[in-house]
Amino acid sequence: MKVALLTPKPPAPILKRLQALQATIQLEDVTSVQALGRHSADLVYLVPFSELDVKGWSDMRVKLAQSGRYYIVFGSGLQSREIMKAAHDGAYDVLNEEDGDDRWESALEASIEAQKLWCQLYGGQQIRRQWQNLIGRSHAMQAIRDSIKRIGPTDAAVLVTGESGTGKERIAEAIHAASGREPFVPVNCAAIPADLLESEFFGAEKGAYTGADRAKAGLVEEASGGTLFLDEIGEMSMSLQPKLLRFLETRVARRVGSTKEYTCNVRVISATNRNLKIAAEEGRFRMDLYYRLSEIVLQAPPLRQRLDDIPDLAHFFLEGAAERMGKHFDQFDPQLIYKFKLYDWPGNVRELKQVIERLAIHYDGPIMRADWWDVPEQTHPIGSGLSSLEKKGGAASPQVFPTRKGKQALAKQLLAEHGEDLAWVAAQVGVHPTTLYRWRKAGQV
């Protein structure tokens, strides 16, 4: 059982109770929770009653509903008025801290079973079992698929890097699917409380710490025979890193409070949006652990480097949103897809998904219209705020050319190198496509 507490400072009695119930705990914040839709179906969300009035909760509640997530509200001494408020808010159940362990355990298990049923009916959280199902026909995504096909069946440790929202966990799931292993156990290294890291990873014996009234298996034991996915590995504490390194080198671990060691056959995939090599060189991450985790490195491309994938991604997200919300959408206005390609998507694929879901909430079909969405204001057009010229499918990014002649020179270079995609070139240069068309017609590019 996995429990996400949507509060930065959970009450100590709640932590002790969840530990007693052998729950794997992670802490998240209502305003900053990420990758909501990618957690496994056996994760249940616990929300303090006080959080229902926090700014950002209404948006979080919508995300929970869209992802088929049931949440439980808890508090101390909640009366009928508070319980009714939480129920009307959409809570699956309401618990008092004064309730017994049996009541808590049954409520958590019932919530998980409800989520699993939703997954079976709608497939909202099912892991896609074929590496070919990664969405996108761009050169960047085809390269990712080719790599997954080669490395999936091996036991090599894989480090997936890339910006937030680029789909690193989707890539990890695809590698796992190509491996033939089971199960897939994801863990967010930044979400587990620091004082519980070792026991969560390697398990704990009864009496190993306050509240440990029964033995508990660790994540590496849960993943035995399968894949352990370490998300946000760059956030792992320095104190746990040598113990993880030893496990990776020997595949031997020991529960907290035990003198006996156990062996696990686990394939490890990790992900980060940080440059771990630089972090290691600066002493913020162990260099030996970095090399152990990065036998193979895959770079998840940002959305601005795979603009040709936007139509496929948009239709996939629209189909899912329409199904969950019971609405009918047939297609996009082509002008809306064109507008999508003019934006630099700092939040990457995750941001595109959220935009489409918001439009599906506020409007009705059958066509998703262009006038429903305007390109957000940007300090620079797509990609232009990065350090060096970003080529299609490449890893570099454009310089800033403030003058007209500079923009025309850049446009001429991009057209020569990348062909006739005027919309993409215009976005890189920072002008409207009609401006680029006029320049070209006048022989200026």
pLDDT tens-place string over residues 192-237: 877 777 888 888 887 666 666 677 888 898 888 899 999 999 999 8
Kindly state the DSSP code that residue 9 receives in the 8-state scheme.
S
Indicate the Cα dihedral angle 171, 354, 162, 232, nearest 10°.
-80
User: CA 277, 24, 249 angle in degrees (round to 5)?
Assistant: 40
Which residues lie across from 269 on neighbouring strands?
158, 229
Spell out a b/e string for 145-174, using b for 16 or more CB atoms within 10 Å of the CB, else e.
bebbeebbeeeebbbbbbbebbbbbbbbbb
In the structure encoding, which two tokens stand for residue 228, read together? Answer: 């352990």
Judge contact between 424 and 418, C-beta under 8 A.
Answer: yes
Query: Any alpha helices (H) in 67-206, and if so which ranges?
Result: 80-89, 101-122, 139-151, 168-179, 197-202
For residue 390, the model assigns a pLDDT of 40
Helix/strand/coil (H/E/C) assignment for every residue in 32-76: CCCCHHHCCCCEEEEEEHHHHHCCCHHHHHHHHHHCCCCEEEEEC
Residues 6+ apart with CB under 8 A from 131: 145, 148, 149, 152, 174, 175, 177, 178
Question: Which CATH number applies to 303-372: 1.10.10.60, 1.20.120.160, 2.60.40.420, 1.10.8.60?
Answer: 1.10.8.60
The domain locations on the chain are 2-122, 131-299, 303-372, 380-445
List C-alpha distances in Å: 120 to 68, 353, 375.
11, 22, 36
Pairing mode, strands 261-263 and 252-254? antiparallel
Nearest Cα residue to 52 out of 74, 22, 80: 74
Whether domain 2-122 has CATH 3.40.449.10: the reply is: no
In three-state secondary structure terms, 275 is coil
Render pLDDT for 285-339 as a digit per residue (tens, 0 to 9).
Answer: 999 999 999 999 999 999 999 998 999 999 999 988 888 888 888 889 889 999 9
pLDDT in tens, 11-51: 888 888 888 887 877 777 655 554 454 455 677 888 888 88
The CATH H-level superfamily of 131-299 is: P-loop containing nucleotide triphosphate hydrolases (3.40.50.300)
Say what the pLDDT of residue 419 is.
67
Cα(189)–Cα(238) distance, rounded to whole angstroms? 12
Percentage of the chain with pLDDT > 70?
A: 81
Asked if the domains at 2-122 and 131-299 fall in one CATH topology, the answer is yes
> What average pLDDT does range 66-92 have in this prediction?
80
Q: What is the pLDDT of residue 289?
A: 96
pLDDT at residue number 41: 63
Looking at the DSSP bridge assignments, the partners of residue 252 are 263
Provide the whole-model pTM. 0.59
* Token digits of residue 197: 């890291």
pLDDT of residue 397: 35
The pLDDT value recorded for residue 398 is 34
Q: What is the pLDDT of residues 347-390, one digit of tens each?
A: 999 999 999 999 998 888 789 999 899 888 764 444 443 333 34
Report the chain's mean pLDDT, rounded to a whole number: 80
